[in-house]
């Protein structure tokens, strides 16, 4: 009487991508009596190699299945009957473009008397889940950090520029007030050594200021005052400068402030309000990199 042993072989793709050019090899240390493919979600070609066709010291039977592709979640179930006894070892292997997996029966490595494992093999494919080399990981992380820091640097500049543009309606009036304040300080005390602020003027980019003060003559008058104001602040802050030097610097600054205040400021109030329509255009380039930042 010939003993028969039944095996159920299951190969399943639990990875995140398709396994391509897959070959499933099933070795049995006994003769394969028959096999039946129960379920296969892709086209599969099965081939049985009998014991006498293998020229090896230990001559197992071999059943192979070839699949051009096993999609994510795909499954192949095959039944195999052999003339083996309870303790006959077997070996299941899968190879595919993305990697390989195998399953070795316990009694192929251990004495058969200690074998208590079941003869059913469950090789699970993991296409698309192989580990990335450490060098590649470092490069990827470095690239991500570079993009993130670039986005932060670009975004902060864009945000500052954008906030300035949103406050353009206040810029001419606040600038006029700043020049008036400077003139009043000097007018009350021509010997003043007080440092006078130019915060409003310094808060805007030159291209923004030139866009607001479109008349070159007006822009030059205002810019000349602030250039002299910077020089005046340096002069009065140096204790070594005598009183006459301080007075001369204050007088020059006072006259340039008067010239700047002669500009028709009212026309720039209405002009700035009309330029608010550019806000959306300016918001787009600053918001685009910020959308990607959390990526990194």
Q: What is the per-residue pLDDT across 122-149, written as a single tens digit (0 to 9) for each? A: 455 555 544 555 666 788 888 888 888 8
Closest CA to 5 of 150, 105, 137, 110: 105
Q: How many residues would you count in the chain?
A: 296
Averaged confidence pLDDT in the chain: 75
Three-class SS of residue 44?
coil
pLDDT above 70: residue 86: no
What is the token pair recorded at 76? 């192949």
C-alpha to C-alpha distance for 180 and 188, rounded to whole angstroms: 12
Contact 5, 85 (CB under 8 A): yes
Q: What's the CATH architecture for 5-125? A: Sandwich (2.60)
Q: In terms of pLDDT, which residue wins out, 114 or 254?
A: 254
Going across the sheet that includes 45-49, the strands are: 45-49, 61-70, 19-28, 90-96, 99-104
Three-class SS of residue 229?
helix
Look at residue 220 in the predicted model and tell me its pLDDT: 94
Banded model confidence at residue 102, pLDDT cuts 50, 70, 90? confident
pLDDT above 70: residue 269: yes
Look at residue 77 in the predicted model and tell me its pLDDT: 84
Q: In terms of pLDDT, which residue wins out, 221 or 76?
A: 221
Q: What is the pLDDT of residues 235-264, one digit of tens each?
A: 999 988 899 999 999 999 999 999 999 998
C-alpha to C-alpha distance for 80 and 67, rounded to whole angstroms: 18
H or E, element range at 137: helix 134-166
Look at residue 107 in the predicted model and tell me its pLDDT: 66
Q: Where are the domains of the chain?
A: 5-125, 146-295
User: Whose structure tokens read 């208590």?
Assistant: 116
Look at residue 206 in the predicted model and tell me its pLDDT: 87
Banded model confidence at residue 208, pLDDT cuts 50, 70, 90? confident
Contact 73, 11 (CB under 8 A): no
pLDDT above 80: residue 185: yes
Q: In terms of pLDDT, which residue wins out, 169 or 71?
A: 71
Sign of the four-CA dihedral 68, 74, 79, 80: positive
User: Whose structure tokens read 């003339």?
Assistant: 83
Q: What is the pLDDT of residues 225-236, one digit of tens each?
A: 999 999 999 999
- The whole-model pTM stands at 0.40
Contact 94, 24 (CB under 8 A): yes
Most distant pair of Cα atoms in the chain: their distance: 127
What is the token pair recorded at 243? 């009183």
User: Whose structure tokens read 């002009």?
Assistant: 271
Look at residue 253 in the predicted model and tell me its pLDDT: 94
User: Whose structure tokens read 């007030």?
Assistant: 177
Percent of the chain with pLDDT over 70: 66
* Range 9-34 average pLDDT: 83
Closest CA to 25 of 58, 73, 59, 66: 66
Q: In terms of pLDDT, which residue wins out, 238 or 100?
A: 238
Q: How far is CA 148 from the centre of its chain?
A: 7
């Amino acid at each position: 009487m010939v003993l028969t042993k039944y095996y159920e072989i299951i190969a399943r793709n639990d990875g995140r991508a398709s396994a391509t050019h897959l070959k499933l090899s099933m070795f049995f240390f006994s003769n394969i009596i028959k096999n039946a493919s129960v379920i296969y979600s892709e086209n599969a070609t099965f081939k049985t190699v009998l014991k006498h066709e293998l020229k090896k010291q230990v001559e197992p039977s071999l059943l192979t299945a070839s699949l051009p592709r096993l999609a994510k979640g795909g499954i192949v179930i095959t039944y195999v009957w052999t003339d083996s006894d309870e303790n006959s070892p077997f070996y299941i292997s899968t190879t595919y473009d993305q990697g390989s997996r195998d399953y070795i029966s316990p009694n192929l490595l251990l004495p058969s008397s200690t074998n208590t494992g079941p003869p059913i093999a469950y090789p699970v494919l993991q296409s698309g889940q192989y580990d990335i080399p450490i060098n590649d990981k470092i490069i990827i992380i470095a690239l991500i950090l570079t993009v993130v820091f670039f986005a932060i640097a670009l975004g902060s500049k864009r945000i500052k520029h954008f906030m300035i543009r949103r406050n353009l309606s206040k810029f001419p009036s606040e600038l006029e007030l700043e020049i008036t304040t400077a003139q009043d300080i000097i007018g009350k005390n021509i010997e003043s050594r007080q440092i006078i602020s130019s915060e409003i003027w310094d808060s805007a980019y030159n291209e923004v200021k030139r866009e607001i003060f479109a008349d070159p003559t007006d822009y030059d008058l205002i810019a000349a005052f602030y250039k002299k104001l910077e020089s005046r602040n340096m002069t009065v802050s140096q204790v070594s400068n005598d009183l006459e030097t301080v007075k001369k610097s204050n007088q020059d600054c006072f006259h340039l402030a008067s010239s700047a205040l002669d500009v028709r400021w009212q026309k720039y109030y209405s002009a700035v309000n009309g330029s608010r329509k550019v806000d959306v255009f300016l918001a787009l380039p600053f918001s685009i990199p910020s959308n990607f930042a959390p990526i990194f």
